Structure 1
Amino acid sequence: MIKRNITLAVTGLNNTDNPGPGVPFIRGVKESEEFEVRVIGLVYENLEPGIYMEGLCDRIFQIPYPSAGSDELIERIEYIHQQEKIDVLIPNFDAELFSFMKNEERLLKLGIHTFLPTLNQYKEREKNRLPEFGKKYGIRVPSSLNLGSLGQITEMEEKFDYPVMVKGQFYDAYLSGNNEQVKTAFLKISGKWGFPVIAQEFISGTEVNVVALGDGKGNTVAAVPMRKQYITDKGKAWGGITLADEKMMELTRSLIRQTKWKGGMELELIKTKASEYYLIEINPRIPAWVYLAVGAGQNIPEALVKLALGMEVTPMQQYKIGKMFVRYSYDMIVDLEKFAAISMNKEI
């Protein structure tokens, strides 16, 4: 088979203890038998490990944070496109998705393809709207309260028993066992991610996750469930194993069917001792553990690129059960010249 040449731009190369999905996404696409890929890495910081990994990216460009404004971010993408002729752009952070979704048509006119959730899909699954989302789609979700001030903690204490989960609208979650811990978490999160800060009822059970891909028409293109075996203090999976769990799969298919979800997603669930499932979060993009799905037989990164290009994708229904992933730290020795180049020139 003659491979199709494409230029792929990917964000999320921060492969640290709070890893982004960029590196495993690129690994998945590089294993494709249909694409010959030139990879453009898009980074926010000059110490993102993906910059320095040999054989990962062909070029690296620094881009402005979404907080600088959508126009500044998209203008930078247009500059990069003039040099590199990007075919497909895959953003991997919740905080940047809004800018790219809003400018989907603008990018497409340039020939840059994306495959992202609609603005409505993105908004209705936000953490501060999760209870309404659960009611609408018939899924159990924990009760929650949106906190806009420290004064509301009293209201929260009337509603929930300790411990409670305190979460940011984009990232960060702290299990808090008393009033002081809630205050500390509230100040940390609001200072970093703004408001609202979400106080969520704590559900006891096993944390399980599903990585899935919807075609935007209600069909599940791919889905692989796993159980976290090792979790960092940031709540990130450092090890996990694929599961045979038809109930989780049906919940995922039902959600994609009802929402007509477009693009990648991660469902974060708690399975109670009574085998009830509570949806605690929906991440509207591919998660950092997506390479486990590739290893289990579903190359979700490749399928997402195909969907972005309007290609036919056959739904993947089989995956290997009992496949594990284990993350590890690895010291790379790199030359200062590379760091200096990205710091001064904003590109390599």
Structure 2
Amino acid sequence: MVKTFTNKPLVIGVTALNAVDSPGPGVAVIRALREGLDRELRIIGLSYESLEPGVYLHDLVDKTYQIPYPSAGAEALAERLQYIHSKEDIDIIIPNFDAELYNFIKISPQLRIMGIHTFLPTHEALEARDKVNLTKFGKKYKLVVPQDLVIHKADDLKKAAEELDYPLVVKGKYYEAYVCHNLELAQKAFYQLSAKWGTPIIVQQFIKGTEINIAALGDGEGNCISIIPMRKLYITDKGKAWAGITIEDNDLLELARQFTKATNWRGGFELEIMRDNNGKLYIMEVNPRFPAWIYLSAGAGQNQPAALTKLALGENVKPFEEYQVGKMFIRYAWDHITDVSEFQQLSAFGEL
């Protein structure tokens, strides 16, 4: 069903407004929406923390409401969104954090009854590509993935090293990864990641090569609406791309199509790829949402957040056929000045 609108702005809720050294995708998604949709927009920020920088960027975000942490459960999220919807008459919500997707998918039928659209994968698809299931996923769909072990105790690291050898990649349940060259470093990474994200911890075979990321958008019927491959040019100590460039490579496009067809993926996703010295493509991770560098898709001629919005509204969106190769992004930081009263208002009342 295609939703029709009168003169009212299109109201879109967006999460992941943290624009720090390990940024969330929210600010980039909003920039793409404002450039790619030829209608008036009202952007509602949905934040977890009072110090998420996107909250205070009023040229991008019109109003912000705090929402409960994913650990509070789906019912608490639905209740809070119902309140926000009563104030804002939201048309679409685009969640951008891995950890929040389970709850958003669970309540999507309730949101639809309220009149709020989403465009999200199924719980089955979300679970299948999880880091802890990546090996099984690769075997099932004939996709090349590194060897890994899922562990719950630091004592298991020694066994992992015997099987996979050093260096090891020690990964958190949701985010962050460390390349470890000995047992001491692996144990340190285990304790840091388990304290922050909980267990299990994933210990993965290290693949030496070129890091490539693919941002893509699936229509839920096995088709790719958009595919943008990007090679990292500058990588932070947390493994995040701080600069990158769009590249032309049919093997990468075909890999994204293969993943989308196998999973019937609905929504945005990112494939983290390592191309080894023999040209073999390994899927290191599958992120079930837009990446933080998604604004590059708009710059390269395939505005994925805008396309997802149209799909969520039931509009017919044809697959993009071309994108601009050689488009670069370079991330930067600047000091945004605001007043403490804004921080106090959001902290005290949960909205700004």
TM-score, L = length of structure 2:
0.97
2:306 to 299, 302, 305: 302
SS of the aligned residue for 2:145 comes to coil
1:333 to 307, 331, 337: 337
Matched pairs, number: 347
Provide the identity percentage.
50
On the 8 A contact 2:161/2:168 being kept in 1, the answer is: no
On the 8 A contact 1:11/1:91 being kept in 2, the answer is: yes
Instruction: Report the CA distance shift for 1:347/1:33 in structure 2 as closer, same or farther (over 3 A).
Output: closer
1:189 to 179, 193, 197: 193
- Aligned structure 1 segments of 4 or more residues deviating by more than 6 angstroms: none
Residue matched to 1:215: 219
Matches within 5 A, 1:5-84: 5-84=9-88
RMSD of aligned residue pairs (Cα, Å): 1.2
Q: Aligned equivalents of 1:5 and 1:345: distance in 2? A: 25
Matched, 1:274 2:278: yes
Q: Aligned equivalents of 1:310 and 1:211: distance in 2? A: 22
Which has the higher mean CA deviation after the structures are superposed, 318-327 or 255-264?
255-264
SS of the aligned residue for 1:338 comes to helix
Q: Aligned equivalents of 2:321 and 2:51: distance in 1? A: 38
Q: Aligned equivalents of 1:150 and 1:119: distance in 2? A: 30
Q: Aligned equivalents of 1:32 and 1:154: distance in 2? A: 50
Matched, 1:206 2:210: yes
Matched, 1:246 2:250: yes
Q: Aligned equivalents of 2:74 and 2:233: distance in 1? A: 38
**Superimposed CA distance per residue, residues 174-208 of structure 1 (whole angstroms, 9 cap, x where no aligned partner):** 11110011111111111111111000000000100
Residue matched to 1:116: 120
Matches within 5 A, 1:101-180: 101-180=105-184
Q: Aligned equivalents of 1:3 and 1:292: distance in 2? A: 30
On the 8 A contact 1:29/1:35 being kept in 2, the answer is: no
Residue matched to 1:324: 328
Residue matched to 1:94: 98
Matches within 5 A, 1:224-243: 224-243=228-247
Q: What amino acid is the match of 2:265?
A: W
Matched, 1:284 2:288: yes
**Superimposed CA distance per residue, residues 55-93 of structure 1 (whole angstroms, 9 cap, x where no aligned partner):** 111111011111122211221111100100110000000
SS of the aligned residue for 1:317 comes to coil
Q: What amino acid is the match of 2:244?
A: G
| Unaligned residue ranges in structure 1 (runs of 5+) | none
Q: Aligned equivalents of 1:59 and 1:157: distance in 2? A: 49
SS of the aligned residue for 2:9 comes to strand
Measure how far apart 1:16 and its partner are. Answer: 0.6
**Superimposed CA distance per residue, residues 26-77 of structure 1 (whole angstroms, 9 cap, x where no aligned partner):** 1111112433211000111111110111311111101111112221122111
On the 8 A contact 1:208/1:271 being kept in 2, the answer is: yes
On the 8 A contact 2:36/2:298 being kept in 1, the answer is: no
Residue matched to 1:346: 350
Measure how far apart 1:5 and its partner are. Answer: 3.1
Q: Aligned equivalents of 2:58 and 2:18: distance in 1? A: 15
On the 8 A contact 2:70/2:103 being kept in 1, the answer is: yes
Q: What amino acid is the match of 2:342?
A: K
| Unaligned residue ranges in structure 2 (runs of 5+) | 1-5
Q: What amino acid is the match of 1:144?
A: D
Q: Aligned equivalents of 1:318 and 1:44: distance in 2? A: 37
Residue matched to 2:3: none
Q: Aligned equivalents of 1:297 and 1:3: distance in 2? A: 28
Q: Aligned equivalents of 2:288 and 2:189: distance in 1? A: 24
Q: Aligned equivalents of 2:211 and 2:37: distance in 1? A: 34
Which has the higher mean CA deviation after the structures are superposed, 207-216 or 186-195?
186-195
Q: What amino acid is the match of 2:331?
A: R
Residue matched to 2:263: 259
TM-score, L = length of structure 1:
0.98
SS of the aligned residue for 2:324 comes to coil
